[in-house]
Amino acid sequence: MSQNNKHTPESIDAQLAELQKGYISKLSEKLQAIMVLWNTYTANKNDADELHKLYRAVHSVAGTSAMLNITEVHQICAEIELILLQMLNPEADEISDHTKLHQLFSQLQILRSNHDFKAMPINLNEHLS
């Protein structure tokens, strides 16, 4: 990499801030898609394909939200993800907490409806010192 192409932590932070902003602008749509998958799954109980689709969508939002410091969305999706993972385990007894799952999806829906996607700024300099 040449000197002219060298990325500073500040320039990377600016790029990550733009990624964060862009992702937040699409987050309501992504959460709506998750809610549709959740509603489809609950209407078609025991549909393993629907459960896999739901898990993948939640997993994707949980991971990207964590990476981009969208903390509350990440926390809710990570909790949902753990319960769904347990449900995907063929050896698991029916021990999934469906009440908790409904509560978490309700929280996610409220965040989506309010567009309440609080994100912490990304600052690589904090991690490099």
Ranges 10-14, 84-88, 91-95, 112-116: which has the least confidence: 91-95
Task: Quote the CA–CA distance of 107 and 90 in Å, as a whole number.
Answer: 28
* Dihedral class, residue 69 (left if φ above 0, else alpha if ψ from -120 to 50, else beta): left
Highest mean pLDDT among 1-15, 27-41, 97-111: 27-41
Per-residue model confidence (pLDDT) at position 2: 42
